[in-house]
Structure 1
Amino acid sequence: MDLAAGLRLKWPLLQAPMAGVSTPEMAAAVSNAGGLGALGLGAAGVDGAREMLRATRALTVRPFNANVFCHAPALRDADVEADWLAALAPTFARFDAKPPEALHEIYRSFVVDRAMCDMLIEEAPGVVSLHFGVPEKAWIAELQAAGNLVFASATNVNEARACEAAGVDAIVAQGIEAGGHRGAFDPDVEDEALPTLALVERLVAVCERPVIAAGGLMDGTDVARALGRGAAAAQLGTAFLDCTETAADAAYRAALRDPEQGPPVLTTSISGRAARCMRNDFVKLGQGLHAKVPDYPVTYDAGKALNAAAKAAGENGFGAQWAGTGVARVRSGGAAEILEAIGAGLDAAQA
């Protein structure tokens, strides 16, 4: 299967979904310029997701990617959650605030959200991608029957095989360099932490479906290397973080370009799942806490509350400033301009 041809792409370049950062304007700009734009819908809910999809469709007739989260629903533990809030309380107090009295499971997993599946079948964005796992095989078949390709992320061979068994059309090989949440199916299983190119090689060797490289890729030369290892396409997120159309706020953008922060690191303290973030105040706080982290996305409820309290007090270092290891090469400009520069670099590298 030729993914680029099937999606009518000028280049085999995909913008990563990036929930909370991607916008309809970003996704449409990338798709219109010859790549595959994307929306992160994991935090949106059915009505919000439908609104984002329709806003994107109003800006492009080309396919785009709608991404959903397939994590196991949270296992609640009142004592763990109370201990976590107590551990965060001194930091809330710094900002003249108190932690929430209780935490909530703020995102509903796609695996139990039939209404979200029905909405995606109705709206048919062209591609639906899955993170943290896969839903029932029948749901994937229904999405495909409605005219969507279905992609799923994998961080190792076992996950990739599960994706193939579920019937997906392509596998996103998420290397350890990627920004944002690790796509691991089970956070309690030891992460092999495979670099992107090594993971691509492993998956290409054992998988029948096309493999999409993701993680640490910032320019055309990076993409050419991934394609040279057998990838059918490349997915880039951090490359678009500072584009004109991003929803990232000014503090997030400033952090991306702050050399004193150092490279992004993995943390579970913000959301409850391992995610690569700029080395901001929340990451440093988490490194010093010894309380057990509650399940995802319950922890994220506390994280969002702490960020809101900090921002209200004029502090901007407690946000989910996700970024990949290539952040030192982040670009500014319109999303289409960035996509075209990456594509031109790929053309030059392959000439």
Structure 2
Amino acid sequence: MSPLDRLGLSIPLIQAPMAGVSTPGMAANVSNAGALGSIAVGATDASGARAMIDAVRAGTDRPFNVNLFVHASPVADAVREAAWLDALQPLFTTYGAQPPSRLRTIYRSFADDPEMLAMLLDAAPPVISFHFGLPSAAAVAALKDRGILLIATATGLAEATAIAAAGIDLVVAQGFEEGGHRSMFDPDAADDELGTLAVTRLLVREGKLPVIAAGGIMDGAGIAAALALGAVAAQLGTAFIACPESAASFSYKERLFGSAAHHTTMTRLISGRPARVLANRFSALEAEIGERRPPDYPIAYDAGKALHAAASAAGEHDFGAHWAGQGAPLARAMPAAELVRTLTAELARVRTG
């Protein structure tokens, strides 16, 4: 029996936690429809996270997931950061703006945030998931003592082994097809770029935890395929971007249904970590930037957000962090609960032949 079974889901589906896209309303509606809704609080502080958790609870009495970033503390490098801003200066000038005078660490890692841990121990959401790494053994033990189900994401067997050793309950097998940030514990390490099929099957066969498959899954047939590989559930993110509850901008959703959806690409220029994005002017900078390396995540993201804001103010929306997986052309625009019901019906049709 998988630990996921204790949540009483009517479909083995998790709506991926997407910072800047998933909202408390989306999470509540997904959970009410029988799947596991998620919010991402890595881009806010303990107070903001508490407000989001309260908002989800106001909309549902069903289980939901709270996702945290556990990235390594960034190393500030004034020379490298100044060089990065110099490289971006011509773009800022094009849009009549100046780059920031200095770059900030805009997101605090959960590993460095005792206030967030204290809040979560008090709020005790049903499920907590980790991205980019793992918290301390003491934090894991404290959260488990509160009866919280814990999930962490792996891109390969070594990370999955570390996740199991840490006492986490389930592992997300993140395929290279997935949209948004790669969850590699070390973003500078070589990436084997395992696809969803391969990494899911590898972790099912060689790992020690129940596996949730993620990456490129957009419909009931994809969920069925993940289950056939031995996964206990599938996690879908890009499929929910076009929902009305999504916080994605109009231009983001518009691009999701345009030609860019057929040309997603990996880039680390936007945030400082590798992430899959709808091909846009930011990802196209790879050819121009050459070997120049952006600052550490999330310091580089401060520059990326500033450039996007400057371009948007001038009417250019093609520098956004439009994260999306390779299944983007399969996206559908419908309310989150309706999407869950559609996925449930599609999965049932596959299962019954």
- 1:3 & 1:31 partners in 2: Cα distance? 17
Q: Pairwise mapping of residues 1-351 of structure 1 onto structure 2 (< 5 A)?
A: 1-259=1-259, 262-290=262-290, 291-351=292-352
Deviation >4 Å, runs of 4+: none
Please report how far the alpha carbon of residue 178 of structure 1 lies from its aligned counterpart in structure 2 after TM superposition. Answer: 0.3
Task: Report the count of equivalent residues.
Answer: 351
1:338 deviates by 0.5
Identity %: 51
Contact 1:3 / 1:233 at 8 angstroms: preserved in 2?
Answer: no
What CA deviation, in whole Å up to 9, does each residue of 1:57-114 have, x standing for no partner? 1000111000000110101111110000000000000000010010011100011111
CA distance in structure 1 between the partners assigned to 2:344 and 2:244 by the alignment? 18
Q: Give the TM-score, by structure 1 length.
A: 0.98
Q: Which runs of 5+ in 1 are unaligned?
A: none
CA distance in structure 1 between the partners assigned to 2:147 and 2:260 by the alignment? 47
Residues in 2 aligned to 1:245 and 1:260: alpha-carbon distance in whole angstroms:
22
Q: Helix, strand or coil: the match of 2:59? A: coil
Instruction: Say which SS state the counterpart of residue 282 (structure 2) adopts.
Output: helix
Question: C-alpha displacement at 1:150, in angstroms?
Answer: 0.4
Per the TM alignment, residue 5 of structure 1 is displaced from its structure 2 partner at its CA by 2.4
Shift of 1:260: 5.1
Report the alpha carbon displacement of residue 12 of structure 1 after superposing the two structures with TM: 0.5
Q: How far apart, CA to CA, are the structure 1 residues paired with 2:321 and 2:133? A: 22
Between the aligned partners of 1:125 and 1:287, the Cα distance in structure 2 is: 44
In 2, distance between residues paired with 1:281 and 1:208? 42
Task: State the Cα deviation string for residues 302-331 of structure 1 (Å, max 9, x = none).
Answer: 000001101111110011000000000001
Preserved CA contact (<8 Å) 2:262 2:329: no
Whether the aligned pair in 2 keeps the contact of 1:271 and 1:298 (CA below 8 Å) is: yes
Separation in 2, partners of 1:133, 1:52 = 22
* CA distance in structure 1 between the aligned counterparts of 2:342 and 2:29, rounded to whole angstroms: 14
Question: Counterparts of 2:97 and 2:330 in 1: how far apart (Å)?
Answer: 37
Give secondary structure in 2 for the equivalent of 1:281: coil
The answer as to whether partners of 1:66 and 1:129 remain within 8 angstroms in 2 is yes
Query: Is the contact made by 1:251 and 1:316 (CA closer than 8 Å) also made in structure 2?
Result: yes
Q: Under a length normalisation based on structure 2, what TM-score does the superposition of the two structures give?
A: 0.98
Cα RMSD for the two superposed structures? 1.0
SS of corresponding position for 1:96: coil
Further displaced range: 254-263 or 143-152: 254-263
